[in-house]
Chains A and B, each alone.
Chain A
Amino acid sequence: MKPAIDKPRSAESSFSAISFDGYDLGQCAFQRPDRYAFFDYLSTARRLIARGAGLSYAAASFGRKSVSIEMTSFDRILRFSEQDRIIEVEAGMRLGKLFEFLAHHELYLPVQPGHGALSIGGCIAADVHGKNPLRDGTFINQIQSLRLFHPGHGIVEISNDCNPDLFRTTCGGYGSTGIIISACLRAAPIPASAVEIEVTSVSNAHEIAAQLVAAVTDCDFLYSWHDCTNPSGVFGRGYLVKGRFVNVPAASCARAPRRHTRRLSADSRAAGGVNIYNCWSTRLMNLAYNRMTRNIGARVQTLDRALFPIHGSEWYFRAFGKSGFHEYQALVPVKLFDRYMSGARHAIRKSRVPITLASAKLFGGNADLLRFCGEGISFALNFPRGGGATELMRDLDFLLGEVGGRPNIIKDSRLPQATVIAAYPEYSRFRSILHAWDPNRVFRSELTDRLGL
């Protein structure tokens, strides 16, 4: 083939490979294609990995010997049928941009994580969840089909009907099966113009499970926030956030609509400098936040504000400073949630780590391959790196093993292979599907290497 005059020439380009939670791998090779001919030149000779917005907490979009292929230039709407509510978009499309377009047609994607800067490809690769995973499931539930590129296979279309094993391995496969080129997504009608947010108090950690289960039937969105900064005193006090669609005039919404895609990147997060979270500052912030939110009571928000609650709060992540933070998100069986919380309380007390955020959601459905799904309560903890954080993570791994829960692979850049193998019974099946599809293991990242995939 005659080399195109516009063939990307950036094989030796590199970027500062840092995950959103602050795991730093130094410099990694990097390309940013902007046309389809690029894929004609890729071969199985080099290790590759796709990269979207680069906002994964774990190092899923770069690897020590891999070339990261950033897909942000592939950000287009390829097909839209308002009647069938099907939209095909390229993998680099940002959630916020897609929301703007769909909202114009009174449609939306029910499953969306909290920030509009994330790419569709990233949401698929991590099979992210939204504000009501029990009812809506995870991102895979709204995917009709995908186009996946692998240099050994070309571009193939996969779905639940066509090559279902590969489809289910790609959704929640952390980029290990190839580069997602585009996806056909099923949108849903926006039920009402706004979301009424009701906040109800939770006295302590032991009430979380019961209150979540009781509230879930009459909510469109449901999650909780907890103050876990005082493991020796009242632990887990906080509130449930219950969202219901309501029709109100736009002027009645609590805040004006915010811009959808705010600047958020692993680099800008790490540029914050020094970590401001310690036991005292975190305690004060949690007390103030709890009091402030509790007093708000019920309020009405625009849908974009309800779907992307992190917009405008990016400072929270920057305040961890250059060293970064950990998130430990675990899916725990409902019946054993109390036991898990008691163990977590003990581990936090022992480690003296300041917990900056604790939040719970109710999940449903069946566990499958390496996806973070199945029945249970998802409980997430944020805390700064350093100090007793490593020990706390180890204790939580052990505790999770005891209650038969599963950790969220995409949220933890340290998660050991042994913990994943123990927590995910279908680890071997995932690996065998992957190796049958890609025997040379072209698509590898720090995450897939660490997990032995």
Chain B
Amino acid sequence: MNALVFGASAGVGRYLCRTLAALGQNVTIVSRDIRDLEAEGAHCKSLHGIEVECIAVDADEPHNVFDVLTAYVSRSERRFHTLLFPVGGALEDDQVGSSIDTMERTLNINLVSVMTAIGILLPRLATDGKRTIVGFGSIASVRGRNSNVTYAAAKRGLESYFQSLRYTLSPDGVYVQFYRLGYVATQQTFGKRLLIPAMSPAIVASAVVGDLGRNFGARSLPWFWFPASIVLRLLPWSLFRQLRF
């Protein structure tokens, strides 16, 4: 079995890579910095004896994603049972009225590059067994606030894209899953005051890998963000605007 993890150098992606490797799956890991990829690849190879492919690509630049992945699929024979996209991030100045550069880069890394990569990699899905494509959103996209403005918009757009993807691929028996993640202990949350403690990326990875090949569409992780997000959505505007989080 082969899996591809797009955004594998740190955070949830790193632990997805390790969890899959521990199950004996060969992994193709994609991220910006080849130094991180080679380190992670060497670690998984040493520990679990699997095959690892490293692809350095800048998710800030969808054209770079297109070129690099197109070149990869033309030279590699590998077919994937699992495609995971734990990629994303927000810039510090992501507010209403932020620069075009900030908006463009945030949309690129969270949305456009993922859509670009899926478009190229879809023909490389395995033809047998359970096949799963997993996207990662954020509880930040449940209801827009005054920070992470473009990030939240991009993640909500990504969820819509994954709904379309599920609709399109369900006749072929491909499972499309989407996780709305709560606070996860990554560089995105490091040093910030959070409402509740951040979840370990290892726990996220374990839950995601454990549920591969299941047909549930979208899910909040941890589960309690599901009722919390309903409350957030239904909260009267006069109360919601008082919240600071």
Question: Smallest CB–CB gap between A51 and chain B, Å?
Answer: 14
Pick from A3, A74, A80: contact of B46, CB under 8 Å: A80
Look across to chain A and name the residue whose beta carbon is closest to the beta carbon of B9: A35
Contact A78 B39 (CB under 8 A): yes
Q: Is A292 an interface residue (CB 8 A)?
A: no
Interface check A76, CB cutoff 8 A: yes
Contact A76 B43 (CB under 8 A): yes
A2: nearest residue on chain B (CB-CB)? B60
Q: How far is the CB of A412 from chain B (nearest CB, A)?
A: 31
Q: Which residue of A lies closest to B94 (CB)?
A: A5
Instruction: Please determine whether B10 and A35 come into contact, CB atoms closer than 8 angstroms.
Output: yes
Q: Known: A9-B92, A36-B36, A101-B47. Contact between A79 and B42, CB under 8 A?
A: yes
Q: Are A5 and B106 in contact (CB under 8 A)?
A: yes
Interface residues of B in 172-195 (CB under 8 A from A): 186-187, 190-191
* Residues of A participating in the B interface, judged by any CB pair closer than 8 Å: 2-6, 8-10, 12-13, 30, 32-37, 73-74, 76-80, 90, 101
Q: In the complex the two chains form, what is the Cα distance from A80 to B45 in whole Å?
A: 10
Residue B157 is within 8 A (CB to CB) of chain A in the complex? no
Chain A residue at minimum C-beta to C-beta distance from B92: A9
Is A77 a contact of B42 with CB atoms below 8 Å?
yes
Q: How many residues of B contact A (CB 8 A)?
A: 26
Chain B residues in 8 Å Cβ range of A5: 60, 89-91, 105-106, 109
Least distance between B140 CB and chain A CB atoms (Å): 15
Contact A36 B35 (CB under 8 A): yes
Indicate if the CB atoms of B191 and A9 lie closer than 8 Å.
yes
| A32, B10: Cα distance in complex, Å | 12
15 inter-chain pairs at a CB distance below 8 angstroms, sorted by A residue, are: A4-B32, A5-B91, A5-B109, A6-B89, A9-B190, A10-B187, A10-B190, A34-B11, A35-B36, A37-B36, A77-B42, A77-B43, A80-B46, A90-B39, A101-B47
CB contact under 8 A between A13 and B42, given known A5-B105, A5-B109: no
B contact residues around A35 at 8 Å (CB)? 9-10, 33, 35-36
Chain B residues near A32 (CB-CB < 8 A): 190
Q: How far is the CA of A30 from the CA of B190 in the complex (A)?
A: 10
Q: Report the nearest A residue to B31, measured CB to CB.
A: A35
Instruction: Write the nearest CB–CB distance from A265 to chain B, whole angstroms.
Output: 16
A186 vs B59: C-alpha distance in the bound complex, in angstroms? 39
Q: Which residues of A contact B92 (CB under 8 A)?
A: 9
Complex Cα gap A36–B56 (Å): 14
A78 to B60, CA, bound (A): 27
Q: Are A37 and B187 in contact (CB under 8 A)?
A: no
> Known pairs A6-B187, A36-B33, A101-B47. 14 more at Cβ < 8 A?
A3-B91, A5-B89, A9-B92, A10-B190, A10-B191, A13-B190, A34-B11, A35-B33, A36-B36, A36-B39, A74-B39, A76-B39, A78-B42, A101-B46
A37-B32 CB under 8 A given contacts A8-B187, A8-B190 = yes
A-contact 0/1 string along B77-119, CB 8 Å cutoff: 0000000000001111000000000000110010000000000
Q: Could you tell me the distance in whole angstroms from the C-beta of A237 to the nearest C-beta in chain B?
A: 47
Complex Cα–Cα for A4 and B90 (A): 10
The one of B10, B46, B190 in contact with A77, judged by C-beta atoms closer than 8 angstroms, is B46
A12 and B191 form a contact (CB under 8 A): yes
Assembly CA distance A10 to B42 (angstroms): 28
**How far is the CB of A85 from the nearest CB of chain B, in Å?**
14
Q: Select from chain B the residue with minimum beta-carbon distance to A29.
A: B191
Q: What 7 A-B pairs have minimum CB-CB distances, sorted nearest first? A: A13-B191, A76-B43, A10-B191, A36-B35, A34-B10, A77-B46, A5-B89
Give Cα distance in the complex from A397 to B226, angstroms.
61
Residues of A within 8 A of B186 (CB): 34
Smallest CB separation, A185 vs chain B (Å): 13
The minimal Cβ–Cβ distance linking B178 to chain A, given in whole angstroms, is 21
Interface contact A34-B89, CB-CB below 8 Å: no
Neighbouring A residues of B40 by C-beta, 8 Å: 76
Cβ contacts under 8 Å, B46 to chain A: 77, 79-80, 101
Question: Which B residues between 1 and 48 are near A, CB-CB below 8 angstroms?
Answer: 9-11, 14, 32-33, 35-36, 39-40, 42-43, 46-47
Closest to A30 in B: B191
CA distance A30 to B186 in the complex (A): 15
- Residue among B33, B40, B46 with the highest chain A CB neighbour number at 10 A: B46
CB distance from A392 to the nearest CB of B (A): 40
Report the minimum CB–CB distance from A55 to chain B (whole Å): 20
Nearest CB in chain B: distance from A109 CB, A: 16
Whether A76 lies near B42 (C-beta < 8 A) is yes
> Which residues of chain A have C-beta atoms less than 8 A from B35's C-beta?
35-37
Question: Given the complex, which residues of A lie within 8 Å of B11, measured CB to CB?
Answer: 34
Residues in B whose Cβ lies below 8 Å from that of A34:
9-11, 14, 186-187
Q: Return A234 CB to nearest CB of chain B, in Å.
A: 51
